[in-house]
A and B are shown apart, each in its own frame.
Chain A
Amino acid sequence: VSLLQSRVLLVDDEPSIRRALRTTLSALGFDIEEASGGEQAVSFVRTERYDAALLDINMPGMGGIEACRTIRRLCPRLPILMLTVRDSEDDKIDALDAGADDYVTKPFHVGELMARVRSAVRRSHATQDDIDTVITIGDIDLDFEGRLVRKSGGIIHLTPKEFDLLYCLMSHSGKPLTHARLLRSVWGNDYGDEVEYLRTYIRQLRKKLEDDPSRPEYLLTESYVGYRFSDTYRKTSRGLRTVTRND
C-alpha cells in the first residue's frame, strides 16, 4: 500500500487549522478531505472510503469523542487520530477508550503527525493479515509461540507477567495503551486502577530491554495516560529520529 496516496479525512472546527494542514499535508502527498464538525465527518465516512481520519476533540455540536465512537462503529478498521491540547489527559483516555488509535497534542510538528498517521495506517493493514507469531521491532524480537524475547540476538529472561505486558505493548506498537487497558489485558478484567503495578513492571522491562533505562527508546511513557511501544520513530529534543523496523 502506498502511504503517500493515503486519503485522510481532516475534521476540525477551526478553518485556519484546516487550511494549514490541508496545504502542508497535500503538498506532502496526502489526499485531504475536510469536515468542519463531527456530524459532517460521520456523514462523509458513511459514503466515502478513507485511509485515516484526523479528529479534533473539542468541537461544537457532536464533539470529537462522540464522532470517534460513531465512526468506529461504522468503520471498525479506519485508523483514527485525535487532535488534543495539553492538560487534557482525561480527554485522551476517553478518546482511546472511544476507539481512537492515537492522539497528537496541539500544536504539533507535521513530521510527527505524518509519522503517527503512517504508523496507524500500517497497523490497520497489518491487522488485516494474520499476526506474525514473531514480532520484531528495532533490535528486539518477541516470539509468542516460544515465549522468547531476544535483544540483539541474546535471550532476555522475562517473568510470565513481564512477557504478557511486553507482548501486549509490542503487538500494538506505536499505539498508546491506557493504564486501565494494559492492566485489564495482562492482569484480568478485575484490574484497572493499580497503576503502581504497571509502573513496577515497566521499570523491570526497561532495565532488561533498554540501553539506558532512564531514557527509554522502546517503552515510552505517555504522561498520565499510559504507555506506548515505539515502532518506527522516536521524538528527541532534536526532532524526529527513525528507529529501524525490520518487517
Chain B
Amino acid sequence: MADTKTRRTIRLVRGVGAGSAVTLFVSYCAFRLHFNLSTAGSIDLLIVVLIALRVGFWEATGSSVVAVGCLAYFFAPPILSLRVAEPENWVALASFELTALIVSRLSDQVQNQTRQAVLERSNATKLYELSRSILVLNRQEPPGPKIASLIAANIGVDAVAIFDPDLTRLYTAGKCVKEDEELARSAYFSDAAAHDELKAYRWRRVLRSGSKPIGSLVLCATDLSPLMVDAIASLVTAALERARSFQKESRAEAARQSEQLRTAVLDSLAHAFKTPLTVIMASTSGLLEMNHLIPPQAELVQLIDQHGTHLNALMTHLLRMAKLESAEIRIRPEEVAIPHLLDEIVEECCGQLGEHSIQVHIADADLAVSADRQLLSITIIEFITNAAKYSGGNSPITISAQKQAGRVVISIHNKGSVIAFEERERIFERFYRSPATRHYASGSGIGLAVAKKTAEGHRGSVWVNSDETTGTTFFLSLPALARRECEFVAK
C-alpha cells in the first residue's frame, strides 16, 4: 500500500515539474515575442487544459499556479517583477486561475468517467465470460477445481482459493500460497465479515446461499473493485449450488431407480410364489370338495392343504415386510380411533391365533392418534402374532391402551418366553433372531424391525419389558391426538 502511495507521489511531482517547465518555456517565448497579457493568458490556459486532459487534475493545477506566476512576472506591469500594480490585472490573473481550475476539474472528471466506463466494460466482459464458462461446465465432474481455474483465466487474478466445506476440500488456481488457503478456510469457519478487503490485494468472501454459508472464496489481485469481488462471489455461489443440487438430484434418481427395481423384484417374487400356491390349493381343496377320497387320502390332502395355507401366510407376511422394510415408509395419516382399530384388529386376528384368546382393555374410549391406519394395524398385528407365537399353549394375550403424558401407549402382553435383558434392543434389529427361540419359532426376523420403523415414522417408539413373573409386554407409543367428538355421532 505504502509502495503505491510513493509511486503516485513521484508521478505527481514529475507531472507537475514537466507541466510547469512547459508553461515557463511558453511564457518566456511569448514574452520574447512581445505578446500582451491577454494573449499570453489564453496560450497558458490552453496549455493548462491540455495538461488536465492528458495528464491529470493535480498536474494541471500545479501548472496553472506556475502560469499565474509567469503572467504576473513577464506580462503584468511592472514587468519582470512578481508585483502586480494595477487592480484590473489582479482580476485578470484571478479569473485565469479560476478558469484553469474549473476547466481542469471538468476535464479530469470526464476522463475519470471514461476510464471508469472502460474498466466497467472490461469487468462486465470478464464476468460474462466467466459465467458462460461456468454454465457449460461438465456437470458430471466436481465443479470446484474448474471454477477456480476459470476465475484465474477469465478475471486475470493472481491467485484463487475456494473452500468447499461439504467435502472439506480446497480448490486453488494461480500462484496460490499457503496463506491464501488458510485464509479461505478460516474465513468460512470464523464466518468473517462479508465485506473484507485484506492487505496485499487479498479479498475474501464467505459464500452464502440465502443466509446459509456454503463455502468461502479468497482472491488475490491488484485491480479488483469490491463490486467485482461480490459479483465473482455470487457467481461461484450459484455454480456451487447448481452443482450440488444436480448431485442431489442424481443421487435421488439413483435411489428411486434402485427402489423401483427392488419393488419390481419383490412383485415378481410374489407372483412367482403365488402361482404355484394357487395351483396347489385349488387342487387340494378341489379334491376335498369332490368327496371321493378314502379317509387316509383325505387326511393327506388336508395336510397338504393346511401347509399350503401356512406357506402362503408365511410368504405373504415375508413379502409384505420385505416391501415395507426396503421402502421409505410412506405414511398416509388419518385420525384413527384406537378402540375401533383394536376391535377391527381383534376381528381380523382371531382366526389366526389358535387357542389363544385376546382381551382388550382400553382406559379411555376417546383415545385417538393421527396415523396411517394400515401401517398401524400391521404393526399391532405383528406384536399380537409375535405374542401368540412365543407364549405357550392357550395363555391369553392382553392388549391395553392408555394415555400417558400426551402419548397413546398400546401394550401387548403375553405370558411366558422371557426375552433376555441384553436382547431387548436387538430383537428390533433386522434379521435378528433370539438364539434361544430360533429353532422352534418360525419367523423372518423382519417383523419387529418393520414395527420399529413404522413407529419411528409416526414419531413414536417401541420397546419391550420382560420378566419371569409378569411375562413379556411389547409397547408402542405414539403422539396422542386430542380427540374431538365426531359431529355425526351427536346427531
Contacts and interface: CB of A to CB of B under 8 A. Distances in A.
A14 B271 CA distance: 11
Interface string A183-226: 00000000000011101100100000000001110000101100
A109 B285 contact: yes
B162 to A, nearest CB: 50
26 contacts: A16-B275, A17-B279, A20-B278, A23-B283, A23-B286, A24-B286, A58-B271, A85-B274, A86-B316, A86-B320, A106-B274, A106-B277, A107-B281, A107-B312, A108-B281, A110-B282, A110-B286, A110-B289, A111-B285, A200-B340, A200-B489, A214-B343, A214-B346, A215-B350, A223-B348, A237-B352
B340 A199 contact: yes
Given A28-B290, A110-B286, A200-B486, A17 B346 contact: no
B352 to A, nearest CB: 7
A152 interface: no
Contacts of B335: 196
Contacts of A215: 347, 350
Contact of B281 (A16, A28, A85, A109): A109
B308 A107 contact: yes
A236 B351 contact: yes
A75 interface: no
Contact of A111 (B289, B343, B351): B289
A104 B488 CA distance: 34
Contacts, number: 102
Given A196-B335, A215-B350, A14 B275 contact: yes
B37 interface: no
Interface residues of B, number: 42
Contact of A27 (B285, B290, B308, B334): B290
A170 B461 CA distance: 42
Given A14-B278, A87-B316, A108-B281, 15 more contacts: A14-B275, A20-B283, A24-B286, A25-B286, A28-B290, A107-B282, A107-B308, A107-B312, A111-B288, A196-B334, A196-B486, A197-B486, A199-B344, A214-B346, A216-B347
Interface string A1-29: 00000000000001011011101110110
A25 B270 CA distance: 25
Contacts of A126: none
Nearest to A201: B488
Contacts of B277: 106-107
Nearest to B487: A197
B329 interface: no
A201 to B, nearest CB: 9
B351 A24 contact: no
Contacts of A203: 340, 343
A224 to B, nearest CB: 6
